[in-house]
Structure 1
Amino acid sequence: MNVRFATDKERNNWDALLSRNPDGGNIFQSKELTEFKQRSGWTPRFLIIENFDKNKSLAIAIQEKRIFGLGTLWYACKGPGITNVAQLEKIVKPLQVFAGRHGVFAVKMESEILKSPETIAEMKQLGLEIVRPIQPNYSTVVLDISPTKSEEELLRAMPKKGAKYAINRALRDGVTVEEVPCTSQNAHAFYDLWVETAQSAGFYIHDFTYHYEFWKTFCENNMGQLFFAKFQGQIVAGAFALCLEKKSTYKDGASVRVRKAYGASHLLQWRVIQWARKRGVTTHDLCGAPPSDRIHDKTHFLHGVGQFKTSFSKKVTDYVGAFDLVINARKYSVWRSLAERLLLRFYRNILRKNWY
């Protein structure tokens, strides 16, 4: 098994290579997202692990940052694209050796491996450090939206008095949903709505320019779409969805703080699902919910979000979240115990934005 950097040809065909990974590809591992993160100081790297599975290779997108005094940190956002510990075990040693040759002290990973006590124990036996998740969908609601199913079948599968009821109510009350172009005007309207949501929920978002460029990048590459739900001519909810191969993701969403139309956000999400199905998508990730054992815990900061998303499906999928592959134990100890905490605190409390 050989680890190397991708060739220019492979980089240009990156998203197609991702689709051959065991997980079928993840939008957070896409070339577009990895290169976009240069705007916040990350350098894109693209790795190929040859002969990962017989003659098949594994494609891994890496975001790289230099940490003063420690060396280089690698972050595989929602990667590598593997689905179990057996696959992970195969790449740990080769990746450790390759990263060490390039001055890396740790590789942070977030593969979508289903969480269980046994899985966590097996990962620790491999020397991996289980750490705080970075991306919000370490627990999430994933919907089977295969185009082979009719819309009525999808609606019937939703919980009783759940999203189906809300969707019909919104339609009856005159709520409409539009797919809108990612113009500066539309992006501003969505961002203003999102700022209200963020302030109410207590989380930080990047400035307008960052998000506008993000949305525009994916729309221009036919991988994203902005949606508005309107009631009586007023925007009451917005959503931005992403799509890669057979998977779609509800990336960003916001709504007015005072509810003006019951079910508007449900109808909005239903239109996102319809959009994704037209593109041949089979799996839709609602992108973040409380863990399954806390889905009814009203003290959890995502409780309201969880109630909305489980109205589409009661099943919450828990992944292992983030984990670190340690390359240099001494430097990693400094990073984990001090440097990372100081950086995150500075970005959160002073700059009011996320470091990762």
Structure 2
Amino acid sequence: MSARIQTHRNRAQTRLDTAPLREFTARFATAEEIENWDKHVTANPNGGNMLQSAAYASVKNGSGWKVRFLVLEAPGNSSYNLVLEKSFPVLGRLWYLIKGPDVAAAADLKAALEACAAFARSRKLNVFTIKVEPDIIGTAEAQRDIQAAGLVKAPNIQSNDSTALLDISGSSEDVFKAISSRARNAIRRAEREGCQVVRQEQGPETYHALYDLMADTVNAKGSMPLRSYDYYAKFWDEFCNRGQGNFFFVYEDGRPSVGAFVINYGAKATYKDGGSTQNRKQYGDSHLVQWEAIRRMQELGCTEYDFCGTPPAARIKDKTHNLYGMGMFKTSFTKTVTDFVGCYDYVLSPLRHKLWTSGGEKVLRRIETARTGQQFY
């Protein structure tokens, strides 16, 4: 069981014995805090998320989004959160607290979001809705706290709102024993048959190799949409430039056949991007790539490995789900699928939010995609 899952369960069991709910204040980060953003984010109550990082802020800034750096403060607790902002005619501004707010428990959401709203109003920022997706596991208690906070369910955005998390805090031997016999056998066979994983440096040759593998996978399986090459190249550059990006490949007949990009961010590792050629001869090559990535993430101090995207737990064996194949592969490393609460709207202007949800978002997303050629979120 992931250490993070156990932590969430312990909080749920002891909540009635905790201190009264805290009050939060909100402010924009100082120049010094922005300069040291990753240090602050990785010290958040849940350890932050790579989508709150300085690298991701650089990726999104100027791509139709304005990036803001928001600090939530309560006695004994600070939380640093990336805010993506878009402005629309008539509606005003939409705030997207991507993978945030990062609070210790769902019970803190109400006070944290009230502080965000009060701050936005005090600065006359004309925010009509705050979109949130906190990394809080979707327990029954969390759902009650979300309802108490007045949040309105919105479609999920991120691929890892349901995901497979592997605890890699133990030794490599212990982690290897913890994964399924199917995964262990695949890794051992790949090693016996001479399959080797190569770590490659950042740069156009590496980027094109992985992008081509990703396109091959999408064309064959249609599991997830593929952004433009330029988007991925910038994304990979930003993380690699900060020492947070890692490429892993195996080759078949002299050409890349499986590739993966894995991010180390604080104590969390995330298998962000990957692809492979179809009808390969090497058995177990994909499992070996993941195993070598896991071992490297351990060396870099990570204690949790996020396989980044599966069907929800209730549909993990549903063959009609578009992520079924990915889910089967990823849960060969860890059987437990973790469902986070997903995406919600915190409404500041009910009228403008109604315009947004009743057709405004759909129209504006279509216009922006046609204008930029990029995905909206």
Quickly name the TM-score band, shorter chain normalised. Answer: over 0.9
- Kindly indicate whether the alpha-carbon contact (under 8 Å) linking 1:236 and 1:260 is maintained by their aligned counterparts in 2: no
Partner of 1:127: 150
Partner of 1:247: 268
Aligned length: 351
Q: Does 1:324 align with 2:376?
A: no
Q: Distance in 2 between matches of 1:36 and 1:207?
A: 13
Q: Does 1:168 align with 2:188?
A: yes
- CA distance 1:247–1:262, shift in 2 (3 Å): same
Superposed CA deviations along residues 203-262 of structure 1, whole A, max 9, x for unmatched, are 322211111111011111101111111234221110001111111100001011223311
Measure how far apart 1:200 and its partner are: 2.6
- Kindly indicate whether the alpha-carbon contact (under 8 Å) linking 1:108 and 1:324 is maintained by their aligned counterparts in 2: yes
Q: Which runs of 5+ in 1 are unaligned?
A: none
Partner of 2:52: 29
Partner of 1:285: 306
- Kindly indicate whether the alpha-carbon contact (under 8 Å) linking 1:83 and 1:114 is maintained by their aligned counterparts in 2: no
Q: Distance in 1 between matches of 2:216 and 2:62?
A: 24
Q: Distance in 2 between matches of 1:242 and 1:274?
A: 13
- Kindly indicate whether the alpha-carbon contact (under 8 Å) linking 2:163 and 2:307 is maintained by their aligned counterparts in 1: yes
Q: Distance in 2 between matches of 1:300 and 1:83?
A: 32
Q: Name the aligned partner's letter for residue 250 of structure 2.
A: A
Residue 14 (structure 1) aligned to one of 37, 45, 54? 37
Superposed CA deviations along residues 138-197 of structure 1, whole A, max 9, x for unmatched, are 110101111xx222211111123x211111111122211111011111111111111111
Measure how far apart 1:83 and its partner are: 4.3
Q: Does 1:45 align with 2:68?
A: yes
Aligned with 1:40: secondary structure?
A: coil
Measure how far apart 1:130 and its partner are: 1.3
Superposed CA deviations along residues 6-52 of structure 1, whole A, max 9, x for unmatched, are 110010111111122110121111121022102421111001122x2
- CA distance 1:299–1:83, shift in 2 (3 Å): farther
Partner of 1:88: 109
Partner of 1:187: 207
Q: Distance in 2 between matches of 1:235 and 1:69?
A: 50
Partner of 2:84: 63
Aligned with 2:305: secondary structure?
A: strand
Q: Does 1:311 align with 2:332?
A: yes
Structure 1 residue runs of 4+, over 3 Å off?
343-353
Residue 238 (structure 2) aligned to one of 207, 217, 222? 217
Q: Distance in 2 between matches of 1:60 and 1:351?
A: 26
Aligned with 1:341: secondary structure?
A: helix
Between 1:300-309 and 1:260-269, the stretch displaced more is: 260-269
Q: Does 1:143 align with 2:170?
A: no
- CA distance 1:279–1:252, shift in 2 (3 Å): same
Aligned-residue CA RMSD in angstroms? 1.7
Partner of 2:19: none
Q: Distance in 1 between matches of 2:151 and 2:298?
A: 37
Q: Distance in 1 between matches of 2:204 and 2:62?
A: 19
Partner of 1:267: 288
Identity %: 39
Q: Distance in 1 between matches of 2:312 and 2:337?
A: 7
TM-score (norm 2): 0.89
- Kindly indicate whether the alpha-carbon contact (under 8 Å) linking 2:107 and 2:142 is maintained by their aligned counterparts in 1: no
Residue 319 (structure 2) aligned to one of 264, 278, 298? 298
Measure how far apart 1:69 and its partner are: 1.9
Measure how far apart 1:122 and its partner are: 2.9
Q: Distance in 2 between matches of 1:6 and 1:123?
A: 26
Q: Name the aligned partner's letter for residue 188 of structure 2.
A: N
- CA distance 1:92–1:39, shift in 2 (3 Å): closer
Measure how far apart 1:309 and its partner are: 0.2
Q: Name the aligned partner's letter for residue 138 of structure 1.
A: D
Q: Name the aligned partner's letter for residue 212 of structure 1.
A: A
Aligned with 2:85: secondary structure?
A: strand
Residue 217 (structure 2) aligned to one of 197, 212, 219? 197
Q: Distance in 1 between matches of 2:85 and 2:143?
A: 26
Aligned with 1:306: secondary structure?
A: helix
- Kindly indicate whether the alpha-carbon contact (under 8 Å) linking 1:35 and 1:43 is maintained by their aligned counterparts in 2: no
Aligned with 2:283: secondary structure?
A: coil
TM-score (norm 1): 0.94
- CA distance 1:243–1:94, shift in 2 (3 Å): same
Q: Distance in 2 between matches of 1:300 and 1:47?
A: 36
- CA distance 1:353–1:197, shift in 2 (3 Å): farther
Residue 133 (structure 2) aligned to one of 100, 110, 117? 110
Q: Distance in 2 between matches of 1:351 and 1:261?
A: 40
- Kindly indicate whether the alpha-carbon contact (under 8 Å) linking 1:248 and 1:285 is maintained by their aligned counterparts in 2: yes
Q: Distance in 1 between matches of 2:365 and 2:354?
A: 16
Q: Which runs of 5+ in 2 are unaligned?
A: 1-23
